[in-house]
Amino acid sequence: MPNTIAPETAGFARPSEPEKSLTPLWVVIGLAMGPAVALGLARFAYALLLPPMRAALGWSYAAAGALNTSNAVGYLAGALAATAMVRRFGDKRVFALGLLLTALTVGACGITSSYGGQLVLRFIAGFTGAAAFVAGAGLTSAAAHGGGSSRAPMLFGVYFAGGGLGVTASALAAPPLIQLAGWRGGWLALGGLALAATVFGCSVLSRAPATVTSVGSEMRGGWSARFLAPKLIAYGLFGAGYIAYATFIIAYLKTVEQLSGSNLSAFWAALGLSSIVAAFAWGPVLGRLKGGWGTAATIFTVTVGAAMPMVWGGVAGAFLSAILFGGSFLAVVASVTSFARRAARPHAWTSVIAALTVAFGIGQSIGPVLSGAMSDGAGGIKAGLWLSVFTLAVACAIAAMQAEPKALP
């Protein structure tokens, strides 16, 4: 994976290029099935399955959290391999096959009660999901090319809002089947949703513009890891901080009896719907904020949302948390990706997105098991969630240090 460019171009955005026909919005909505499957269904929806699986299989919080760590390690491995896979097979093939394999693996999680088997399946879902996610983000970058400074953040917001769509769909489909058939039914429901999303995502590929990498470019370089260091570090810390909330918040709300029954499903749906609405709300804001301020603003909102259930008990505090966290956590991903696009040459978009995804994946690999271990201690789940809040606050501060790329003459 390239990580250096010539000194005269380090830290510079690409030059302006000729306008071209704009990709229809519905194509990007189809590409958004990448994060819908890889994030919303294969990772975040595990929060709904964690309490019944832990109760039925006798797991500790550390063991339960390790399943999301396994998914994150797979995601990290997939992100590391994504650039090579895309260079060899093209974004579109990697996107389609990654979606299909992730959907099948998610459904297969409902078949085995073996802890080792679950770890392997979660790893595979992370690997294939990362490949689809990176390829889809590269295709979205190509779709945003030539559309002006305000269109790119909006299209990235739409793309990453797919994760919120997956969360919302899981909130509606999984709980009824969990009540009817236990945790196995929940996984099968998620697998069915993922297959449906895969069909839609693949249907738009004929209209999606090819990226430079996917048409066989052998160019290297095009972005500077040194220049993007604050963004990479902040994104890694964000990955570690947000995943603890996403993994354990349902269990926490049940433990403290802040929410129960249908309220929990409504909470999860509110979180997902907020992230979809945020795709349009954050877009214009991120288009105006320069340097690292867009990422800092979104991480700050995530931090406040993550802290809310611990500082304000009751239904109101929980749902405000869902709105703030849900309305900003995917916007962080959109802001980071949109900035990276400004700081990299077109042929390097998939590579720089993959590098950021690696940083994100390292953080996600650490977060669940560390928070789970703290949750097994005297402080309970609350201690693990406070660790999440602290990590997010540090990420926010580091994100603000990122400079804006300089324009080429």
Digitized pLDDT (tens) for each residue of the chain, 409 residues in all: 333 333 333 444 444 444 456 778 889 999 999 999 999 999 889 989 998 999 999 998 888 888 988 998 998 899 889 888 988 898 999 999 999 999 999 999 999 999 999 999 999 999 999 999 989 988 988 887 655 555 677 787 788 889 889 999 999 999 889 989 899 999 999 999 999 999 999 999 998 887 654 444 444 557 777 888 999 999 999 999 988 888 888 888 887 776 767 788 889 899 999 988 877 788 778 778 888 899 999 999 999 999 999 888 788 889 999 999 999 988 898 888 878 878 887 777 777 877 888 898 888 888 877 887 888 877 788 888 998 999 999 999 999 999 888 753 3
SS (H, E, C) 231-287: HHHHHHHHHHHHHHHHHHHHHHHHHCCCCCCHHHHHHHHHHHHHHHHHHHHHHHHHH
Q: Per-domain residue ranges for the chain? A: 25-212+226-399
Domain covering 25-212+226-399 assigned CATH 1.10.3720.10 in the classification:
no
Tokens linked to 303 = 């931090």
Distance CA 392, CA 170 (A): 25
**What is the pTM for the complete model shown?**
0.78
Provide the 10 A C-beta neighbour count for residue 232. Answer: 24
